[in-house]
Amino acid sequence: MEVVKVGMADLKVIKAPGALTTLGLGSCVGIILYDKRTKIAGLAHIMLPSSKEIKNNSNKAKFADTGIELLLEKMISIGADRVFLVSKIAGGSQMFSFNSKSNILKIGERNIIATKEKLKELKIPIVSEDTGGNYGRTIELNAEDGSLLVKTIGHGIKNI
């Protein structure tokens, strides 16, 4: 089976057979969209919650808001049906902890919130998620059945 790698601030779509993977998600969030009927799968690896917060926003895949929109667009362009799309999300952990109020460290949590808001706005249901915590995750999406494998160091493997 061909496995397509998605890097940080990047997104890809494929049609079965095949799989999409992103390695070592930390505070970033991996968002998958899947159309069961056409077996079209998409994966975005976003880093920041909103493209509106900063000026330097030309890379759409970097942000939850524009990343999800672009992923949806790409999936529809190769034949996915919007009505049947479901989503799964993983990541958004807090790798380091401090006692202070620093906003930057809560970026994982903010990424998750922004992702959920955008998916809600687009009326795409989230069927499962593995988010938060303080550890990294590698995820692999099988385009054949839409199953999402989540691997960690010391926190087990699961299929969501």
Partner 1 sequence: MAFDVDDINDITIDVLKELGNIGSGNAATALATMISKKVDMDVPQVKILDFKDVPKILGGEEVPVIGIYFEMSGEIIGNIMFVLSLESGKNLTNILFNKENNSMELDEMDISALSEIGNILASSYINSLSALSGLKLTISVPSLATDMAGAILSVPAIQYGYIADHVLFIETQFQEGDKKVTGNLFMIPEIGSFKKLLKSLGVC
Query: Which residues are near partner 1 by CB under 8 A?
Result: 7-10, 23-28, 47-48, 53-56, 58-59, 62, 93, 95-98, 100, 102, 104, 107, 134-138, 153
Structure-block tokens of residue 22: 């992103």
Min dist CB 146 to partner 1, Å, is 23
Report whether 136 contacts 93 (CB < 8 A): yes
Identify which of residues 32 and 46 has a Cβ nearer to partner 1 in the complex: 46
CB nearer to partner 1: pick between 85 and 141: 141
Return all residues near 77 (Cβ < 8 A) that are at least 6 apart: none
Among 33, 111, 121, 109, which Cα is nearest to 78's?
Answer: 33
Are the C-beta atoms of 10 and 119 separated by less than 8 Å?
no
Catalytic residues, which ones? 28
Q: In the bound complex, what is the minimum distance in angstroms from residue 86's beta carbon to partner 1? A: 26
Which backbone phi and psi does 69 adopt, to 5 degrees?
-60, -45
| Smallest distance, partner 1 to C-beta of residue 112, A | 13
Tokens found for residue 15: 């049609």
Judged by CB, which is closer to partner 1: 38, or 57?
Answer: 57
